[in-house]
Amino acid sequence: MKLFEYEAKGILIKYGIPVPKGVLITSSEELDKVSAKINPPYVIKAQVLVAGRGKAGGILFAETMSEAKDKIERLLGSEIKGIKVQSVWVEEKLRTKTELYYGITVDRYRKTYIILASSAGGMEIEEIAEKYPEKLVKFPVNPLEGFRPYHARWIAKKLGYERKQMLELASIFYKLYKAAMDYDAELIEMNPLIETIEGNFVAADARLIIDNNALYRHPEYEEHFEGEYTKDEIEAKRKGLAYVKLDGNIGIIGNGAGLVMATLDAVQLYGGKPANFLDVGGGASSDRIAAALNIVLSNPNVDVVFMNILGGITRCDQVAMGILEAKKRIGFTKPMVIRLVGTNEEEGRKILSEAGIHVLDSMEEAAKKAVEIASKTFKR
């Protein structure tokens, strides 16, 4: 579960990590809070739970209060990558000497946490690794020993700092690790972590993702989910479906996350572009299948739907009835490619064939067919 920047910075403050002075604005009536608490110039940040918001126009700068008001009002109610901006974080603009990166995430290969640090901050860690690999410091955390203050000092030295600055930076590194452990972080990062002209260190941006499996230890965030998702993703969650919108034109529905991922891979292998990931789960009822189709077809970019069902707990006849129910309920006319194999397979095929819907045996054959239909639609 992702936290907003202002929430992540609130946690950093609890651990004694310096952050810029800031104020949260949720409506134009609250603009007086800015001038009362912060002096210009300002940084104005849309509070949306998406990566790359700066490149998408979600971070603006203002030299005066009048300019700040205009830009705050412009951001409030706008959309950043499909997410409506309901709040804006306004903070003081720091005088920057150097931008650093520091983050802690899970290394699933090593099955432990890994510390990542770089003297090239202000960009995504993947970009840093590609453009400046020599500036990236990696420190896998021994799960038996943990992360110690002397480890933090070693990383600070690797970034080129000495004496008082090295100790100050190492202290911030160690405090962030403590916050990561206390909040069951999948990822926590400061990017950029700024070295000011005065030689101090301040977390100009903060990001925290909490492991969903540990949310029972953080009940204060139980109602936090909706800000992270689009309307379709929220609706999918309410229906018990796992849905992620993508950029293509082939709608994908399957039962089981592994099967859906394999379906996406097959579509891309044959030159197609998936429009979404949608997993109906095991034992999907006809109502759930209908709901899945409704969500996928609500995306106007979808030209064809590829449904890949491997019946185990999920019964193929229930899936077939769900498809017909959805067709009747929402009246969709877009083509479908269906691969239906498993429990009550013959009954499911019969239900669909009597309705004039053809069913395929092979996932590869079905993926090719879906890509063929989508490419013809695109050319038209």
pLDDT at 229: 61
CATH of 229-379, one of 3.40.50.410, 3.40.50.300, 3.40.50.261, 2.30.30.90: 3.40.50.261
Superfamily of domain 21-92: ATP-grasp fold, A domain (3.30.1490.20)
Spatial separation of the C-alpha atoms in residues 17 and 7, rounded to whole Å:
14
Torsion of CA 183, 188, 192, 196, to 10 degrees: 40
Per residue, the 3-state secondary structure of the chain, as one string, reads CECCHHHHHHHHHHCCCCCCCEEEECCHHHCHHHHHHCCCCEEEEECCCCCCCCCCCCEEEECCHHHHHHHHHHHCCCEECCEECCCEEEEECCCEEEEEEEEEEEECCCCEEEEEEECCCCCCHHHHHHHCHHHEEEEECCCCCCCCHHHHHHHHHHCCCCHHHHHHHHHHHHHHHHHHHHCCEEEEEEEEEEEECCCCEEECCEEEEECHHHHHHCHHHCCCHHHHCCHHHHHHHHCCCEEEECCCCEEEEECCHHHHHHHHHHHHHCCCCECEEEECCCCCCHHHHHHHHHHHHCCCCCCEEEEEEEECCCCHHHHHHHHHHHHHHHCCCCCEEEEEEECCHHHHHHHHHHCCCCEECCHHHHHHHHHHHHHHHHHC
Q: What is the pLDDT along the chain (380 residues), one digit of tens a residue?
A: 889 999 999 999 999 999 999 999 998 888 888 888 899 999 999 998 887 788 888 999 999 999 999 999 999 989 888 788 999 999 999 999 999 999 999 999 999 999 999 998 877 888 888 888 888 999 999 999 999 999 999 999 999 999 999 999 999 999 999 999 999 999 999 999 999 999 999 999 999 999 988 888 988 876 665 555 667 777 787 788 889 889 899 999 998 889 999 999 999 999 999 999 999 887 666 678 888 888 998 888 999 999 998 877 778 888 888 888 777 777 777 888 989 888 888 888 889 888 878 788 889 999 999 999 998 765 44
Look up residue 370 and give its amino acid. Answer: A
CATH superfamily entry for domain 96-221: ATP-grasp fold, B domain (3.30.470.20)
Domain ranges within the chain, ordered by starting residue: 21-92, 96-221, 229-379
How high is the pLDDT of residue 84?
87
pTM of the model: 0.66
* pLDDT on residue 380: 44
Do the beta carbons of residue 112 and residue 142 sit within 8 Å? Answer: yes
Q: Which residues pair with 89 in a beta bridge?
A: 24, 45
Which pLDDT value is given to residue 82? 79
- pLDDT at residue 72 in the model: 93
Catalytic residue (choose from 7, 92, 99, 189): 189
**Catalytic: 101?**
yes
Give the other-Cβ count within 10 Å of 14's Cβ.
11
Q: Judge whether 189 counts as a catalytic residue.
A: yes
- Pair 152, 174: CB distance under 8 Å: yes
CA atoms within 13 A on the CB side of 28: 9
Residue 343, pLDDT score: 83
Q: Which residues, other chains included, contact 181 with Cβ-Cβ below 8 Å and sequence gap of 6+? A: none
Catalytic one among 42, 101, 102, 229? 101
- The angle, 0 to 180 degrees and rounded to 10, between the axes of the packed helices 345-354 and 316-330 is 30
